[in-house]
Amino acid sequence: MREIITSRDDIFYTLTRHGMDREKAYKITTAVRTGRCFAGKHPKWADWEKEMHEIGIPDWYTESMKEVHYLPPRAKCVACAIRAYKTAWIKKHYPEAFSEIASMI
């Protein structure tokens, strides 16, 4: 579970942890997170994939990177999780107030 791609930071840290240059890791991360590498269509993807394989990135990881349409930054993921937790807490402990607020939206 630790190696699953959940945000753009995961790709960058995985690549740098395996020894890739930070600048190249950032370029790959940016291309993947915006969906430009979807289905391996980026012009440099074949070279990047070969280089990632040489430094020890597993094949399943590079295949997963080719399936990404968009990846949010980790801070946005955390903010959404906190918002969902707060909403659930209010809904559980103050159901009347929650239904009033929900009806106004």
18 contacts 88 by C-beta, under 8 angstroms: no
> How many domains are contained in the chain?
2
Residues 16 and 59 both lie in one domain: yes
**Pair of tokens at residue 30:** 């940016």
Residues 28-68 have pLDDT tens digits of 999 999 999 999 899 999 999 999 999 999 999 999 999 99
**Pair of tokens at residue 50:** 């070969």
Overall pTM surpassing 0.85 (yes/no): no
Give the distance, in angstroms, between the CA of residue 37 and the centroid of all CA atoms in the same chain: 14
The range of the structural domain enclosing residue 46 comes to 8-71
Residues 35 and 48 both lie in one domain: yes
Residues 29 and 55 both lie in one domain: yes
